[in-house]
Amino acid sequence: MTIDFISDLHLSPAEPASTDAFLGYLVHQAREADALWILGDLFEYWAGDDDVDGPFNTAIADALQAFVTAGVPTKLIVGNRDFLLGEAFTHRTGVEIVAEPVNIVLGEQQCLLLHGDVLCTDDHAYQQFRSMVRNPAWQARFLAQPLAVRHEIAEDLRAKSEMSKQGKALEIMDVNADAVAQAFRDSSASLMIHGHTHRPARHALNIDGTTCIRHVLPDWHGHACGLRWDGKKLQSFGSP
Ligand code: LP5
Ligand code: MN
């Protein structure tokens, strides 16, 4: 059983290299897998499922639909950029959206999958922002606006985010050790895979006397990369 895990592609018309890498990955390397997990931030941002057939998104949706139809089941956990992906996207592409955290079995081990932003509990401003935009009433009000307006708001939020990150210490934008330990305890998993922080690594941790491994996925920046489970072990692919 071969399973690929990818995240943080941040696909957008402004980054054609990542789009090309993703389209190429879906017709070549990913076809060797028996399943694909996308752990959030597939898109730079997602303004709502009614944008799935917009000029840029059509190519991505078509490629995903062809990939799933070719026989590779694909599941997705939403990220902080594309949390508005929903049922219509699933209907269009065949990609199943699953609520985080997800427990899967890899070999003999339980493995916890998540985007990773919930672990960044020291970033109080972000967690407050997250609670606001994950509120269904807030989302309904946002989605009731015309698509062009939503694009403007999303672009504005991206700019605000970039600005606000400049004023934050790097440590607060990483995961909090206690939040990681608690996630391991709550799930009984000994493996964890997440993205979001853009700090690809393999961290070995002692949680209550058990060695637990936290894998952090890389972001794409124009080339396909992630982790592959080959039936026995997890290995990075595509990282420079
Ligand atoms: O994304 P990234 O890597 O730059 O930084 C994240 C956190 N930022 C975000 C914001 C996203 O980048 C923008 C999301 C676009 C989604 C568009 C679709 C739908 C929008 C509305 C849906 C209901 O997630 C950043 C973290 C960083 O990760 C590291 O973990 O620090 O957090 C922030 O920058 C948040 C700020 O600290 C606080 C919020 C500033 C903006 C407040 C404006 C609120 C008004 C909203 C009006 C629409
Ligand atoms: Mn993210």
Pair 96, 75: CB distance under 8 Å: yes
Task: Please give the distance, rounded to the nearest whole angstrom, from the Cα atom of residue 133 to the centre of ligand 1.
Answer: 9
- Mean pLDDT (the chain, rounded): 97
Instruction: Please check whether residue 97 lies inside any domain of the structure.
Output: yes
Residue 240 pLDDT level (bands cut at 50, 70, 90): low
Instruction: Please check whether residue 156 lies inside any domain of the structure.
Output: yes
Nearest Cα to Cα of residue 122 among 39, 26, 197: 197
Global pTM value:
0.98
Is the Cβ atom of 104 under 6 angstroms away from ligand 1?
no
Is the Cβ atom of 121 under 6 angstroms away from ligand 1?
no
**Residue 70 to residues 6, 76, 175: CA-CA distances in angstroms?**
19, 17, 37
For residue 73, cis peptide bond before it (omega within 30 degrees of 0): no
Query: Rounded mean pLDDT of 117-140?
Result: 98
Instruction: Please check whether residue 240 lies inside any domain of the structure.
Output: no
CA distance linking residue 189 with residue 70, whole number of Å: 31
Is the Cβ atom of 157 under 6 angstroms away from ligand 1?
yes
Q: Which atom of ligand 1 is nearest to the CA of 154?
A: 17
Is the Cβ atom of 47 under 6 angstroms away from ligand 1?
yes
Tokens 């199943």 correspond to 96
Instruction: Please check whether residue 129 lies inside any domain of the structure.
Output: yes
Instruction: Please check whether residue 239 lies inside any domain of the structure.
Output: no
Half-sphere exposure of 37 (CA within 13 A, CB side): 27
Which ligand sits nearest to residue 133's alpha carbon?
A: 1
pLDDT digits (tens, 9 = 90+) for 114-127: 999 999 999 999 99
Q: Which atom of ligand 1 is nearest to the CA of 141?
A: 23
Instruction: Please check whether residue 20 lies inside any domain of the structure.
Output: yes
User: pLDDT value at position 171?
Assistant: 93
Mutating to test ligand 1, I would choose from 161, 165, 219 the residue with most ligand atoms within 8 A of its C-beta, which is 161
User: pLDDT value at position 156?
Assistant: 98
Mutating to test ligand 1, I would choose from 46, 157, 160, 194 the residue with most ligand atoms within 8 A of its C-beta, which is 157
Q: Residue-wise over 106-131: b if at least 16 C-beta within 10 A, else e?
A: beeeebbbbbbbbbbbbbeebeebbe
pLDDT digits (tens, 9 = 90+) for 155-197: 999 999 999 999 999 999 999 999 999 999 999 999 999 999 9
Instruction: Please check whether residue 119 lies inside any domain of the structure.
Output: yes
User: pLDDT value at position 239?
Assistant: 77
- Please check the confidence at residue 42 and state whether its pLDDT lies above 90: yes
Domain span at residue 146 reads 3-234
Nearest CA to ligand 1 atom 34: 161
CATH label of the domain that carries residue 77:
3.60.21.10
Q: Is 101 helix (H, G, I), strand (E, B) or coil?
A: coil
Residue 96 pLDDT level (bands cut at 50, 70, 90): very high
Number of neighbours of residue 86 by Cβ within 10 angstroms: 16
Query: Rounded mean pLDDT of 197-224?
Result: 97
Instruction: Please check whether residue 66 lies inside any domain of the structure.
Output: yes
Q: What is the dihedral of CA 69, 72, 77, 80, to 10 degrees?
A: -70
Number of domains in the chain: 1
> Tell me, what DSSP letter sits at residue 11?
B
